Amino acid sequence: MNSPKLIDPRLELILAARHFYQQGWMVGTAGNLSVRLPDDSFWITASGRSKGELELGDFVRIYADGTVEKPSPDVKPSAQTVIHQALYTLFPEARSCYHVHSVEANLVSRFVQGDTLPLPPFEMLKGLGIWQENPDCAMSIFANHSQVSCIADEIKERFTTIPPQLSALLNRDHGVTIWAPSAKTARNYIELVEYIFRYMVAARGTGFCRAGEERE
């Protein structure tokens, strides 16, 4: 019997990026997606590529020893590659890492002054691995820096000391990043957190806040 044909993991990223682009979460060239391979290298979207029109040549492969494999000399890896590297190092079970830029993610990142965002106790948090009834759950927030390595260093420092409740983090004014055990799960995580963010923005707009949410 012949072995099943292996599917290029970049195809899953292309489909996810197109979906996120259509949702308005990866407009223009914003955002980045990666998938980790069995040898611990990973494919990541190249810098400056439209996420609604990705092709197989729009990815860069990053190896565990730092070697970079590019389809052509003019292709550069995403500026946030160091964040993906940090998350893969911190969470060996992670096989995909997605970062998108939605309006709602940026708005909720300003709902609090501190470094955690309380989330409403939705049952759908089960989809993110939170199984308690009426959970007291919060998402970590990190300041955005033009020097992306500074963000990666802060993520490593904080998560090494205090493990996150969720496989997700916010960059203030710069979107959400999630990591997951598969590309399919990563897509689900993005959809779930974005739904929660939309709810929080709508609730703030109507003057309704659930427990744990701050009023100005």
- pLDDT digit string, tens, across residues 182-216: 999 999 999 999 999 999 999 987 765 554 444 44
In a domain, 175, yes or no: yes
Does residue 37 fall inside a structural domain? yes
Share the mean pLDDT of the chain: 90
Give the CATH number, domain containing residue 164. 3.40.225.10
Mean pLDDT value of segment 146-152: 94
The SS3 of residue 101 is coil
Quick check: is 61 in a domain? yes
| pLDDT surpassing 90 at residue 172 | yes
Instruction: Give the lowest-confidence range in 20-29, 93-102, 133-142, 200-209.
Output: 200-209
Q: What angle do CA 188, 51, 78 make, to 5 degrees?
A: 95
What residues make up the domain containing 15? 9-205
pTM score, two decimals? 0.90
Residue 45 falls inside a structural domain: yes
The answer to the question of residue 39 being in a domain is yes
Count of positions (residues) in the chain: 216
Residue in the structure block whose two tokens are 């998560």: 159
Give the per-residue pLDDT at 209: 56
The total of structural domains in the chain comes to: 1
The predicted-structure confidence for 12-54, as pLDDT tens digits, reads as follows 999 999 999 999 999 989 999 999 999 999 999 999 999 999 9
pLDDT of residue 72: 84
What is the structure's pLDDT at 216?
A: 41
Q: Is residue 55 part of a domain?
A: yes
H/E element holding 78? none
Helix (H, G, I), strand (E, B) or coil at 148: helix
Which amino acid type is present at position 78? S
Residue 207's pLDDT is what?
A: 67
Say if 1 falls within a structural domain.
no
Task: Give the per-residue pLDDT at 65.
Answer: 87
| Distance between first and last Cα of the chain | 65
Predicted local distance difference test score (pLDDT) of residue 109 = 96
Mean pLDDT of 143-168: 95
The annotation status of 145 as a binding-site residue, yes or no, is no
Compute the distance between CA of residue 86 and CA of residue 179 in angstroms, rounded to an integer.
Answer: 11
- What would the mean pLDDT of 96-103 be, rounded to a whole number? 97
SS3 21: helix
Question: For residue 67, is it within any domain?
Answer: yes
For residues 152 and 85, the answer to whether their CB atoms sit within 8 Å is yes
Q: Is 101 annotated as a binding residue?
A: yes
